[in-house]
């Protein structure tokens, strides 16, 4: 497999991860949670959508239009609706996907298979993902410290 083919496959993998993360943030925002967590999920959702758009640009610039499909045709199964008791599970899923994304980006940046523009875009994504990761860790730690009542909205 050539460098170009490997790059296209890896970019598609990152796009799928961002799509999965987008759906997880949306599922979490459907729950009745505290405003701070809702704001974090909204920021994460927007970040995922923007990263997907930029990844699409990288993919389209490198793909072979005859052999490689369109990224938007990839179907990612939506996360099942979470229940009130699943807030911690949802946060853990978001955190796990975030860690995978950081690992993938770190590998691509270090492998130097990217051209200059792609490298810059991936570095920007990595920095933003690190900031979001810190916020997710903070929310998960707060939840682990038995501050669950802060996550449920009082009606």
CB 90 within 8 A of CB 60: no
Which residues are within 8 A (CB) of 89 and not within 5 positions of it... i.e. 6 or more apart? 82
Q: For residue 139, give both structure tokens.
A: 């929310």
pTM: 0.80
Q: Which fold has domain 3-150?
A: Ferritin (1.20.1260)
Which residues are within 8 A (CB) of 105 and not within 5 positions of it... i.e. 6 or more apart? 14, 122, 125, 126, 129
* Domain coordinates in residue numbering, the chain: 3-150
**pLDDT of 85 over the 70 cut:** no
Q: For residue 84, give both structure tokens.
A: 């009130």
CB 119 within 8 A of CB 85: no
Q: How far apart are CA 97 and CA 103, in angstroms?
A: 10
**For residue 155, what pLDDT is reported?**
47
The average confidence (pLDDT) of the chain is: 79
**pLDDT of 126 over the 90 cut:** yes
Q: How far apart are CA 76 and CA 103, in angstroms?
A: 20
Radius of gyration of the chain (CA): 17
- Which tops the pLDDT comparison, 145 or 17? 17
- Which range (22-36, 54-68, 83-97) has the least confidence? 54-68
């Amino acid at each position: 497999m050539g460098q170009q083919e490997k790059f296209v496959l890896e970019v598609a993998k990152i796009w799928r991860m961002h799509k999965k993360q987008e759906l997880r943030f949306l599922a979490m925002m459907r729950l009745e949670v505290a405003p701070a967590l809702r704001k974090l999920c909204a920021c994460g959702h927007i970040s995922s959508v923007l990263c997907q758009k930029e990844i699409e640009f990288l993919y389209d610039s490198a793909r072979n239009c005859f052999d490689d499909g369109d990224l938007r045709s990839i179907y990612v199964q939506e996360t099942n609706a979470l229940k009130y008791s699943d807030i911690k599970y949802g946060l853990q899923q978001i955190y796990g996907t975030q860690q995978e994304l950081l690992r993938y980006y770190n590998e691509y940046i270090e492998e130097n298979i990217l051209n200059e523009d792609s490298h810059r875009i991936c570095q920007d994504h990595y920095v933003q993902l690190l900031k979001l990761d810190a916020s997710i860790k903070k929310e998960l730690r707060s939840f682990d410290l038995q501050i669950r009542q802060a996550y449920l909205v009082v009606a």
